[in-house]
Chain A
Amino acid sequence: MTSQTIPEARVRSAPDLGVLLTGAGALLLVGSALLPWAGYAGFPGKMTLSGYPGGARLYVLLLALPALALLRPLPGRAAALRAAANVELAVVALTVYFVAYAGGGFVNVGGGVYPAMIGAILYLVGSRRLPTSEAVAEGVALPDASWRFPVESLVVAGTAGLALWLFVIGLGMPSSSIASGSDLTLGPLSINDVANSGQFLAYVITIAGVALVAGRLGLLKSLTIMTGRHPKLFVAAGFIAAAAFPFTQNGSGESLSIAARIGVFAAAAVGLNIVVGLAGLLDLGYIAFFGVGAYFGALVSGSVTSVTGVHLPFALTIVLGGLVSGIFGLLLGAPTLRLRGDYLAIVTLGFGEIFRITVNNLDGSAGPSLTNGPNGVSNIPDLALGSFNFGANHTLFGIDLSFQSNYYWLELLLLAFVMTSFLRLSESRIGRAWVAIREDELAAAATGINTTRLKLLAFALGATLAGAAGTVNAHVVKVAAPDSFTFIESATLLAAIILGGMGTVPGALLGATVLYLLPEKLRFLHDLRLLVFGIALVLIMRFRPEGLVASKRRAREFHDHETDPAAEAVA
């Protein structure tokens, strides 16, 4: 009775220490974002300006915003703020490090750095002290009946657009002067190179952090439910946004060219996902099939450096390239797939190396002249479809488009085809048989599945898709050379699907993007790159073993103990 008469203000009058600390930290961080962080010019984001949250300061600001939740106890608030504080500290520390490093020492940092560091620590400590006995976040209530469709479609399409927009920003961020390929030795780097790398890292970490916070607040759950209800819309919106990308580039082709390469890499990753994610076959030499396609495409491209002198129409090249690669897959798989899984890994690993060494040696001196040895088949001419020349810049709807957009769209078509194949296969009789084999091969055989044949099918199909992607890649990068097909490439593709989430398409896309971009943007790390890369993978596997975007099946596989209440009720 009496408790009801106590004025609300009195109840709230003793704010929790955690709330105070978190709030103070957030305020300091917001303030710091408006102060200069660098005492010297040249760091990206106009870091010497005050009153302007440019560069990484924007991320600092963004990650302090969840503190607004302190004003109202939302479910999942404490967990969300803890995540925000963790990521905030990482971003602040990283940016301070890069500002100091690029400026030649800590003495050259700006005044905003100090409140930022204190703020980040308060934020972290405070968020740990927030009361946690709050309800689990259930996300926003989904709109009712008549409103549901328009609202949901908007959210779903918006999400697809937002994802692409973020991707495009990341792509467009200046990075260190990139030569080509994956060589690890680099000359001295300029201040700008270092600063740009730092800026990019902070960007990626911030996106991950925002996603994490959204997840803790239950927003991702709502989003997943909505996209699950309109999968076609989601995909369509994604593709329309992706197809529109070249129109935003003002005739420049740099980002488009990187995007096209990522796309081909992603297509290969999705293909590998059939072999590994669905059928559960460990293929450690997958890049060799990509290489077979690339060399095939290069040899029949009409390039002056090709010994064949043949010039096939590209539509035929892509099909034949896939077939040739698929035949290699059959030849390799037929004898090995009868054996246990581990043998396949060893044989494919060997095949990958044999392929690389062979094309390295087919230069006319050690063997027949076919591949020009280490130089590869280069100067691959631009594609032409009828009178449409892929190598020329075009103008569409009054907007200038660099020639790279043609290749970008070609890659997008390839990706669309590979993704459609994957999705449709995975939910078909064939896909179910693959998963059954992965689950229990003996039981699958007893259920009437010809396990050898289906494994061979998965293997050859993966090889075919890789081969098709390879022919496209040869025309995008204009060369097919042995050093693009090393074991590390196979391992990276494999890492992409494990990181992104086995057996899912968005996972493969995300994994491929991250794994392609990170090494490019982290060149300042030199040889340490692979180490950092490895540590990142270990961390992800530790904290999210099912990958970033888990299929429903795998999520449940790895998080058994966190029982699903629905499953429990039936059990």
Chain B
Amino acid sequence: MSVLEARAVTKRFGGLTAVKDVDLVVNEGEILGLIGPNGAGKTTFFNCLTGMETPTAGDVTYKGAPLPKRPDLITKAGVARTFQNIRLFNNMTALENVIVGRHTRTKAGVFAAVGRGPRYHREERESEQTARDLLTFVGLGRVGDELAKSLPYGDQRRLEIARALATDPGLLLLDEPTAGMNPNETAAAIDLVKGVQARGIAVVLIEHDMRFVFGLCDRVAVLVQGQKLLEGSPSEVQSDDRVIAAYLGKPTEAETAGDKQ
């Protein structure tokens, strides 16, 4: 069963085609790695999936239904993400950041907030409990009351994951989750992603740390100059000459076929 199906997704910025005809299927419960050199269009592809950019062409379905256009509706549908350059609510506490993630799954409106009946209180308690559990899950159980911006870099990345998980996603998109992490933190991140998978959530992650990718992912897709070069098991991708060439910069078929920049 597939969770997400992207068909012929294309994104052009003026003359530059950042993403070109990319097909990608994410299966239920799998961890899919998305790799490629800098500027290959990986983040742009994520942006197209999450409504941050409108794709020039192509369509995306999530669990069989076409994905909505607006970011908040996409999140509500079940696709959550993190950002390459961390985007937390800096002046909110870690706990508040995660509670905000419950927004789509809770209901209280203006009247409930001002009136504060029993249902409101129950919902607030539940949100807080869920958020605390998630903080513990990502290993930030003790820093809930810290401001997001005062957390160290690695913790901020984990907090972003907790916030994304709070939206109850079926698919989590992680954009370079280990960037800026030290080896210890990276090792912890492997366990974290596996833990996410164990919750029945499919994961697509963009990474430059190859050991991380090949050690963790069930499948790997390679994006070069906006196009999908190949897709397969870690061992297949690892041993493919074209991948090595793409990273080392030797011209290949795909590259010459790609758009001139």
Taking Cβ atoms with an 8 Å cutoff, the residues of A that contact B are 420-421, 424-425, 428-433, 435-436, 439-440, 442-451, 457, 461, 553-554, 556-557, 564, 567, 570-571
Beyond A424-B114, A424-B116, A428-B108, whether A553 also contacts B92 by CB under 8 A is yes
Structural contact, B52 and A446, CB atoms closer than 8 A: yes
A490 to B89, CA, bound (A): 29
B257 at interface, CB cutoff 8 A: no
Structural contact, A447 and B163, CB atoms closer than 8 A: yes
User: Can you give 23 A-B contacts (C-beta < 8 A)?
Assistant: A424-B116, A425-B110, A425-B114, A428-B124, A429-B106, A429-B113, A430-B109, A430-B110, A430-B113, A432-B100, A433-B103, A439-B90, A443-B83, A446-B75, A446-B80, A447-B100, A447-B103, A448-B75, A449-B104, A553-B91, A553-B147, A567-B150, A571-B150
Structural contact, A444 and B100, CB atoms closer than 8 A: yes
Name the B residues within 8 Å of A439 (CB-CB): 89-92
Q: Which of A424, A435, A451, A554 interacts with B89 by CB under 8 Å?
A: A435
Structural contact, A432 and B99, CB atoms closer than 8 A: yes
> What is the interface residue range for chain B against chain A?
35 or more
A435 to B91, CA, bound (A): 9
Name the B residues within 8 Å of A428 (CB-CB): 108, 112-113, 120, 124
B163 to chain A, nearest CB (A): 6
Name the B residues within 8 Å of A425 (CB-CB): 110, 113-114
Structural contact, A432 and B92, CB atoms closer than 8 A: yes
B81 at interface, CB cutoff 8 A: yes
Taking Cβ atoms with an 8 Å cutoff, the residues of B that contact A are 50-52, 70-73, 75-76, 80-81, 83, 87-92, 96, 99-104, 106, 108-110, 112-114, 116, 120, 123-124, 127, 142-143, 146-147, 150-152, 163-164, 167
Structural contact, A436 and B113, CB atoms closer than 8 A: no
Name the B residues within 8 Å of A447 (CB-CB): 75, 100-101, 103, 163-164, 167
Beyond A436-B92, A436-B100, A442-B87, whether A448 also contacts B147 by CB under 8 A is no
A451 to B92, CA, bound (A): 17
A564 to B102, CA, bound (A): 29
A439 to B167, CA, bound (A): 19
Structural contact, A446 and B114, CB atoms closer than 8 A: no
Name the B residues within 8 Å of A431 (CB-CB): 113
A446 to B161, CA, bound (A): 12
Nearest to A426 among chain B residues (CB) is B113
Nearest to B102 among chain A residues (CB) is A429
Structural contact, A556 and B143, CB atoms closer than 8 A: no
Nearest to B163 among chain A residues (CB) is A447
Nearest to A445 among chain B residues (CB) is B71
Structural contact, A429 and B103, CB atoms closer than 8 A: yes
Nearest to A443 among chain B residues (CB) is B87
Q: Is the interface of A mostly helix, strand, loop or mixed?
A: helix
Name the A residues within 8 Å of B76 (CB-CB): 448
A556 to B149, CA, bound (A): 11
Structural contact, A443 and B52, CB atoms closer than 8 A: no
Most buried by A among B75, B110, B143, B152: B110
A425 to B102, CA, bound (A): 16
Structural contact, A446 and B50, CB atoms closer than 8 A: yes
B54 to chain A, nearest CB (A): 13
A15 to chain B, nearest CB (A): 44
Structural contact, A571 and B152, CB atoms closer than 8 A: yes
Structural contact, A570 and B83, CB atoms closer than 8 A: no
A98 to B56, CA, bound (A): 72
A449 to B70, CA, bound (A): 10
Nearest to A567 among chain B residues (CB) is B150
Structural contact, A446 and B81, CB atoms closer than 8 A: yes
Most buried by B among A429, A439, A442: A429
A570 to B152, CA, bound (A): 9
Q: Which of B71, B83, B114 interacts with A421 by CB under 8 Å?
A: B114
Q: Which of B72, B81, B116 interacts with A449 by CB under 8 Å?
A: B72
Most buried by A among B71, B75, B83, B147: B71
A457 to B50, CA, bound (A): 24
Structural contact, B103 and A443, CB atoms closer than 8 A: no
Structural contact, A567 and B146, CB atoms closer than 8 A: yes
Name the A residues within 8 Å of B80 (CB-CB): 446
A443 to B90, CA, bound (A): 11
Q: Which 10 A-B pairs have the closest CB atoms?
A: A428-B113, A448-B104, A448-B75, A443-B87, A439-B89, A445-B71, A429-B108, A567-B150, A450-B72, A436-B100
Beyond A432-B100, A448-B76, A449-B100, whether A571 also contacts B167 by CB under 8 A is no
Beyond A429-B106, A448-B72, whether A570 also contacts B146 by CB under 8 A is yes
Structural contact, A420 and B114, CB atoms closer than 8 A: yes
Name the A residues within 8 Å of B112 (CB-CB): 428
Known: A431-B113, A450-B73, A571-B150. 5 other contacts (CB 8 A): A424-B113, A443-B87, A443-B88, A444-B100, A449-B72
Nearest to B108 among chain A residues (CB) is A429
Name the A residues within 8 Å of B164 (CB-CB): 447
A430 to B89, CA, bound (A): 15
